[in-house]
């Protein structure tokens, strides 16, 4: 199949727009050919996941592009860096690693990007709108953009995302195209109480299940008896994009391309139907805890980054309380959300509770944790899924309220009654 290029595409490929653009376009064209694209399409924005320092190769490419004078051609936000620029010394981050991570931050900022440093760009004013073509990296951001907003992006890998941002183009493949956005697997909620669906821990559990059973297919959820918030959908999508490769889900009557079952499937029949019972959900919940111990060294919240609404939800739970002195309590968020939380007075509650806050980075991608911290607790399916492999830690999963109660008690406490019906 021959890839059709516009006149401007040919100009970029020849080097008429500079060596950095030529390099980016040559990579883009080759990748588009491999993917079987017929043409390229114009994008209105990008989100760069290759900002995290994970080794010399990523740093070398970033600095090479920057050295060639690369500039992004569309509004471009940046994913988490490997470094909380102002507070990394409070943790176990090696100084040489921090120096390399900072070099990578500088390289990407020099390209005219917006230094958002967040895995949740959909929380910002720069978020896309329904139907916009974008090129986003970061799995949880991709699934949120496609599913909750109705923007259109493929699952763009590190290093390729910046090529799209520089050229303003992307391959016309996959989820950019309407016909590829139809649901494939139907998940029917069967006798799942509305009271459980209203809880914050229901959505990561459901997301973990969707990812495991859907893999890279498009799940459609039917039978919701509660109206989920954006943070609920964030948690669901992040879980599904971790245990599986879900880049788009539909929820009947909730997400914008699923007003009806027929519209979610674009008139087609599901390839499979799965009944989601309480037994199935309980098993998914059990999978998110990787230890039998009730020991607790640290609570980690904000994977993906904490929103302003989550700060508001946490504040009354911790107000007037103190965490156990042997337990660390960490919230990770973006600069933007942290500033808003400060103005609202929520950071005062965190400080009084004894919590710590880190911005710009992610505990999963930064060597922050000292070796003596072994037992963690979280309310995130994404963090629970990745922690054993990436961090080598023992993880327990619970609701936001469970996490607070456990931090105060100094051991794992979970409210089980809601899951026993």
226-262: buried (b, 16+ CB within 10 Å) or exposed (e) per residue? bebbebbbbbbbbbbbbbbebbbbbbbebbebbeeee
Distance between CA atoms of residues 250 and 104, nearest Å: 36
Output the pLDDT for position 15: 98
With 70 as the cut, is the pLDDT of residue 42 above it?
A: yes
Instruction: Find the mean pLDDT for residues 51-61.
Output: 93
The pLDDT tens digits of the residues spanning 333-365 come to: 999 999 999 999 999 999 999 999 999 999 999
Radius of gyration of the chain (CA): 22
The pLDDT tens digits of the residues spanning 225-238 come to: 999 999 999 999 99
Output the pLDDT for position 352: 98
Distance between CA atoms of residues 373 and 394, nearest Å: 9
Which homologous superfamily is 298-419 in? Aconitase, domain 3 (3.30.499.10)
The pLDDT tens digits of the residues spanning 249-292 come to: 999 999 999 999 999 999 999 999 999 999 999 999 999 999 99
394-397 and 272-276 as β-strands: parallel, antiparallel, unpaired?
Answer: unpaired
Output the pLDDT for position 421: 72
Instruction: Find the mean pLDDT for residues 23-38.
Output: 97
With 80 as the cut, is the pLDDT of residue 413 above it?
A: yes
Output the pLDDT for position 1: 64
The pLDDT tens digits of the residues spanning 193-219 come to: 999 999 999 999 999 999 999 999 999
Distance between CA atoms of residues 353 and 111, nearest Å: 40
Output the pLDDT for position 82: 86
Say whether domain 7-176 belongs to CATH 3.30.2250. Answer: no
Residues in the chain: 421
How is the beta sheet containing 185-189 ordered, strand by strand?
250-251, 219-222, 185-189, 272-276
- DSSP assignment, residue 295? B
Report whether 195 contacts 418 (CB < 8 A).
yes
Report whether 196 contacts 418 (CB < 8 A).
yes
Tell whether omega for the bond before 367 is within 30 degrees of 0, i.e. cis.
no
Show me where the domains of the chain are located: 7-176, 182-287, 298-419
Identical fold, 7-176 and 298-419: yes
pTM: 0.97
The pLDDT tens digits of the residues spanning 79-137 come to: 999 899 889 999 999 999 999 999 999 999 999 999 999 999 999 999 999 999 999 99
């Amino acid at each position: 199949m021959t890839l059709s290029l516009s006149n401007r595409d040919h100009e970029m490929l020849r080097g008429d727009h500079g060596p950095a653009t030529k390099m980016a376009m040559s990579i883009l064209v080759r990748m588009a050919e491999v993917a079987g694209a017929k043409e390229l399409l114009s994008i209105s924005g990008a989100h760069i996941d290759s900002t995290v320092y994970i080794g010399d190769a990523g740093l070398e490419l970033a600095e090479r592009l920057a050295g060639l004078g690369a500039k992004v051609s569309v509004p471009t936000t940046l994913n988490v860096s490997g470094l909380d620029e102002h507070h990394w010394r409070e943790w176990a981050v090696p100084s040489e690693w921090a120096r390399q991570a900072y070099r990578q931050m500088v390289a990407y900022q020099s390209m005219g990007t917006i230094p958002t440093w967040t895995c949740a760009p959909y929380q910002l004013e720069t978020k896309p709108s329904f139907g916009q073509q974008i090129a986003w990296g970061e799995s949880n951001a991709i699934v949120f953009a496609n599913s909750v907003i109705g923007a259109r992006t493929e699952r763009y890998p590190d290093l390729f995302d910046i090529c799209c941002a520089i050229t303003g183009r992307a391959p016309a493949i996959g989820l950019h195209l309407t016909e590829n956005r139809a649901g494939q697997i139907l998940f029917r909620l069967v006798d799942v109480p509305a009271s459980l669906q209203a809880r914050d821990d229901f959505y990561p559990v459901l997301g973990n299940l969707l990812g495991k059973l859907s893999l890279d297919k498009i799940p459609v959820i039917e039978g919701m008896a509660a109206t989920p918030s954006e943070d609920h959908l964030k948690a669901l999508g992040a879980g599904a994009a971790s245990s599986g490769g879900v880049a788009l889900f539909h929820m009947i009557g909730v997400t914008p391309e699923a007003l009806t079952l027929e519209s979610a499937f674009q008139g087609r029949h599901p390839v499979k139907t799965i009944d989601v019972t309480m037994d199935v959900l309980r098993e998914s919940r059990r999978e998110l805890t990787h230890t039998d111990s009730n020991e607790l060294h640290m609570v980690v919240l904000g994977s993906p980054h904490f929103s302003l609404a989550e700060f508001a939800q946490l504040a009354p739970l911790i107000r007037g309380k103190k965490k156990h002195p042997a337990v660390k309590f960490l919230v990770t968020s973006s600069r933007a959300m942290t500033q808003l939380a400060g103005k609202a007075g929520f950071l005062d509650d965190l400080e009084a509770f004894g919590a710590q806050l880190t911005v710009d980075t992610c505990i999963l991608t930064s060597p922050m944790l000292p070796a003596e911290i072994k037992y963690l607790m979280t309310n995130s399916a994404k963090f629970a899924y990745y922690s054993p492999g990436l961090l080598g830690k023992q993880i327990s999963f619970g609701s936001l309220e469970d996490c607070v109660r456990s931090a105060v008690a100094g051991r794992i406490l979970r409210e089980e009654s809601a899951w026993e019906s």
